[in-house]
Every structure is written in C-alpha cells, then in structure tokens.
Amino acid sequence: MTNKEILIKINKFEIQPKSKQASIDRGREFEKLINQYFDNEKVLIKNSYQTSDNKSEQIDAAIKVDNRVFLVETKWVESNLAASAMYAFMGKVDNKMYGTLGLFISKIELSENFIKSLAKGRQRKVIILHGDDIKKLFDEKFSFVEYISKAINIYSTDNVDYYSIQQYLDGVQNLKEISNPTKGVIDDLKDYWQLISTNEVLDDFKIAEASDKLSKKQKELIFQVYMKKLDYYYEAYHNLSSNSRAYRNIINSLEYLKIYDKEEIIETYWNKVIEVRQYSLIDEIAIKFIHSIDKVSIEKSKIYDVFIEVFENIQGSWEKENTLTDCIEKVWEDINSEQQIKLLQFYFDIYIDTSRQNRFLQKQFANKLISNSENNEIKKRAFNQWINKKMKDDMKNLENDEAQIKEAANYFSKHYQVYYNFNIMLELSKDDFIEEIKKMYIKAYSQNKIK
C-alpha cells in the first residue's frame, strides 16, 4: 500500500458513523496504517507487540531513525485526551534502555496546555505529532527521516514545546531561498550582501570595513534586504541548517550600519514586525529599536499585540523570553491594561516556575511585577483569569464526587499558597487566600461541569 493510499483510507475514517465499537475499530486500523507508513519509509523495526515481561506493555510500534530507537503510541480519541495516556506512554519509554525515545501520534489535535504541561520540568524524550501533522506526513515535500533528525536537534538544543511538520516544511522552503542569496538584491549591494551572507562568522573588523564603504542610502537599502531575508536566515541559524552562521553576521553588521536614528528605518522595522509577527524579527534587533518606538506613526498597541502573540509562541524558551522581556520592561507603562493582563499571565507562570533562576531578566521582571503594590486591580484581574485556567486544566479528570472535589480544592489552594506574594498582591492574608482559592476552585468546577 502506497502512502497516498494510506492517506485516502485515513480520510475515509473521518466520515464513518460514530459509535463506541466504530471508534475502537478505527483506532486499531489507524495504528495499522501508521505502521504501514513507517514500513514504507523504511524505519519500522517492530510492528505492534506486547513486551515479554509480566507487565505485558502494549507497544504500537518500534522504529529506528538516525540510530535512535523510538517506541510509538498512536491515538485517535475524539474527546480531550487525558494526560494519563501520555504519562503512561512516557513510563513505557523510561522503562527501556537509556537513550530510547518516544513518538506520540494523535489524530485529533492536542491542546497547547496539554503539550506545554508535559514539557515543563521534564527531560525531553517524546516527540509529538498531532492534528494537522498527520496529513502533512504525506506531503510530497516531506521527509519523515529528515524531520525526525531535525526534531532531535531542536529538542536537544532549545526549550521548545512542539516542533510541527509545517515548521519543518517552512524550513525546507527557507533553505531554497538561502541557496540563492543575491536574488532580488540591487547590483551595487551584491558584494556587501555576498560577504554578510557567507556561512562563516566574520570578525568585526571585516564587517566594519565593508559597512564604512556604503553610502547612507546604501545602508538604508541593505536594511531593506535584511527585512526581506532575515526570516530565512533566522530559521537556518536556530534549526542548525546550512548558512546558519550568516544570521550572526546580519545581527553584528547592524552595529556598523548606524541606522537606528533614521525615522524611515524605524518605521520600516516596526511595520515589518507587525506584518511578520514572528520572533525572528524581534530577537536581538528590537532591543536596538525599542528606544525609538515613540517616533513611529503607527499605533503602538499593534506592536504590543505582536509582543503578546510572540510571547505565547516562545513561552518556555528562556533566552527568547529574556530578550522579549528586555523590550517589554522598557515600555511596560505604555502598554494598555488589557494587554498588561495578558502579559501578566505569562509572568505568573515564570514566577511560580522554580527552575527559573533569579539572575535572569524574565524572572527578575516577574518578581518585580508581583511584589510591588502598583496597579493591583489589573493584577487581580489577570490573576483571576490565570488561576481559572489552571483550575480547569487541573480538574479535567475529576469525577463528579463532592468529597473528591473538596479534597482537590484543598490541595490546589495549599499548592498556590506557597507563592506567598500572590496573597499580598491580592491584599489577602495567607489564610484568606487559601479560602478564596478553595471557593474559586469549587465555583470553576461547577461551571466546568455545566459546560
């Protein structure tokens, strides 16, 4: 059976009648089809089997990529997948020889909170494919082996919750763009751009010497080139792809172009940030332009909306959080209350994360926001939204049992009581804080059940 035929069969399951038995049958067939796909990709080393010890663990498949063995779990569950399913699979992986990894495949899209909660505070051993990834497995441009190899690199070198197949496919397109670096570059700038886009890190003297030869107009034009091509080089740099070192040259050369005080350049930059809405356009560049943000004619709240959107995407990647925080802290007083409420919830997560060290900027700023007494009303609103999300995630697997609910509420309130500055921010004593959290928990539970 070809990969195209496998996809057709999977698509047919989408329109089948829904019943308990049909769901069970569909799950089994999905597992078989995915294993056929692995066989076609020449990575399957063992089909669905049970381990030979007394535990008799069910393993859906075992594959081998880049000399790394992966245990595979496939799921097609219509309702929200319980976290216990993933924890059980991670236990199977942990029980095997050191270096064994896991591949967890869900036909239904998993929630962001589900994925992020699994990544926090754990050694990364499982790659997740879910939702839209499944159809993209069969994309003509997609190489399963290359994707897994790339994912191993990314998860091993960065704090990334999830690397999608679409991100991989975008990276493939980026490499095509990088393979023709002078395309679209004005003739009299080609020598400079060829130098900067080389795949070796240049020393400062070479960059400074080349930059000094450019006229003011040429410097502005080369910045326009950067705005068009930076995405591609950023992806190459962070995904360890070809021409990855050219990104450092681009960033380093900005110091020598001396363009930060040019109003048209400032306008170009922030407009590009709003258009692209990716961390690649912020990274180390925004720090250089943030002091000039008052000079732009565009509505600044649009820029801050991008900060929020980007923060959500990079949350958990500590270096990126630090860089973005450096910008956010400088403009905090200028950010409107609704935007502050959204940002505060990111910083609450950072504040309670004991793995974050106080010497880093994002932790320092989180501590500052929570411990000072300014804008407490805004913080209270942010806290209520944040804690309610936490509660809803916590109660997903609770049964409708009053004693269990009260016990969970008691545990949850004491768990959050240790973060004593929250009760100061809410202007409550520690005991009142615990009681308030209990009430919120029980209220959130009843509302969640009604929905």
The helix or strand, by DSSP H or E, that contains position 121, with its residue range, turns out to be none
Kindly report the CATH number assigned to the domain that includes residue 137. Answer: 3.40.1350.10
**CA distance linking residue 77 with residue 374, whole number of Å:** 46
CB atoms within 10 A of CB 14: 8
Q: Report how far apart, in Å, the C-alpha atoms of 109 and of each of 28, 86, 129, 131 are.
A: 18, 14, 9, 4
**Among 248, 254, 237, CA closest to 178:** 237
Return the SS3 of 427.
coil
Q: Given a cut of 90, is residue 181 above it in pLDDT?
A: no
Task: Report pLDDT for 280.
Answer: 82
Q: What is the pLDDT of residues 26-56, one digit of tens each?
A: 888 999 999 999 999 999 999 998 888 766 7
Q: Which two tokens stand for residue 35?
A: 């294993």
Q: Looking at the domain assignment, is residue 421 inside a domain?
A: no
CB atoms within 10 A of CB 157: 11
Which residues fall within 8 angstroms of residue 443, CB to CB, at 6 or more apart? none
Q: Looking at the domain assignment, is residue 66 inside a domain?
A: yes
Q: Looking at the domain assignment, is residue 11 inside a domain?
A: yes
Q: What is the pLDDT of residues 78-136, one digit of tens each?
A: 766 767 778 788 888 888 888 899 999 999 888 877 787 666 556 788 999 999 999 99
Answer whether 102's CB lies under 8 Å from 71's CB. yes
Q: Looking at the domain assignment, is residue 60 inside a domain?
A: yes
Q: How many helical (H) and strand (E) elements, i.e. helices and strands, does the chain have?
A: 21, 7
Answer whether 106's CB lies under 8 Å from 83's CB. no
Q: Looking at the domain assignment, is residue 36 inside a domain?
A: yes
Q: Which domain holds residue 118?
A: 3-163
Q: Looking at the domain assignment, is residue 18 inside a domain?
A: yes
**Residue 372 Cα to chain centre, angstroms:** 30
- Give the best-scoring range by mean pLDDT among 160-169, 203-212, 435-444: 203-212
Tally of domains within the chain:
1
Q: What is the pLDDT of residues 2-24, one digit of tens each?
A: 898 998 888 888 777 677 777 78
Q: What is the pLDDT of residues 372-403, one digit of tens each?
A: 777 888 998 998 898 888 777 666 655 566 66
Q: What is the pLDDT of residues 185-220, one digit of tens each?
A: 788 888 888 888 887 888 989 999 999 999 888 888
